[in-house]
Amino acid sequence: MARAPCVPEGSVVYAIGDIHGRDDLLADLHDRIATDAAAVAAARRVLVHLGDYVDRGPTSRQVVDRLSATAMAGFETVALKGNHEAFLQAFLRRGEAAEGWLANGGAATLFSYGVAPPDPWDEEDVERARTEFALRLPDRHRSFLDGLRLLHQEGDYLFVHAGIRPWAPLDRQVEADLLWIRDPFLDWTKPFGPVVVHGHTITRAPDVRSNRIGIDTGAYASGMLTCLVLEGTSRRFLHTGGA
């Protein structure tokens, strides 16, 4: 009989799905995690955020401010990069991807930083918004975004924003797949090696498969931000209240 996947002995791992500008839900879930962790007899506590902190919801700035501040006491924290952070960074570089970003919730992020969204077809207006955004983005926020990681592994679990290319070894994965992949990863039924914990693809409840666990429950619209808790070979979930 195959051994059940587990995290390192003495560790408890909390992984949070896509936040998308809902700082109210993030604050609530952080409180729930702190309460839960206080009742767990683990020497090491790890908190992993799976990316997509910005866009769509109304408080992207507040989310980035919270995540870029001092880590939760008693936790090792890991912040992964999502495709929406990639959108934001492309816009900051030279107004790249303005149309795609604005169509996917980027306007809400600009509003949260006090910047009027541009007409994506007007190059001068795009540059105006990009310049204003760059000036209003605190150095701490920029450093946080620049320091986001693509992958993190804890024992038999691999954490990533979107997923992995199923037939490629972990050391040959490319950033575009880690941030954007869907069907080739979601439809794969064979083992990946580690169990992949991911966000990016919205489901009404956690999507638990033998080879992956999806925890993007559409928090910006549903009101349900989900956290997977891993301890030893056990798995459980914490949630904010759904709609």
How confident is the model at residue 241, as a pLDDT?
84
Grade residue 148 by pLDDT with cuts at 50, 70 and 90.
Answer: very high
Relative orientation angle of helices 60-68 and 139-146, to the nearest 10 degrees: 80
Mean pLDDT for 59-75 is 95
Closest by CA to 64, choosing from 16, 103, 33, 22, is 22
- Set out the domains of the chain in order of their start, with CATH numbers: 11-239 (3.60.21.10)
1 pLDDT higher than 60: no
Closest by CA to 117, choosing from 102, 131, 103, 104, is 102
How confident is the model at residue 3, as a pLDDT?
84
Grade residue 94 by pLDDT with cuts at 50, 70 and 90.
Answer: confident
- Residues 168-203: pLDDT tens digits? 999 999 999 999 999 999 999 999 999 999 999 999
d(CA 46, CA 76): 5
3-state secondary structure of 72: coil
Please tell me the pTM assigned to this model: 0.97
Mean pLDDT for 82-91 is 97
3-state secondary structure of 48: strand
219 pLDDT higher than 80: yes
d(CA 104, CA 90): 14
- Residues 149-175: pLDDT tens digits? 999 999 999 999 999 999 999 999 999
How confident is the model at residue 242, as a pLDDT?
56
Residue 66 backbone zone (phi > 0: left; psi -120 to 50: alpha; other: beta): alpha
3-state secondary structure of 166: coil
Show the DSSP H helices in 114-195 as ranges. 123-136, 139-146, 175-180, 183-186
d(CA 160, CA 106): 22
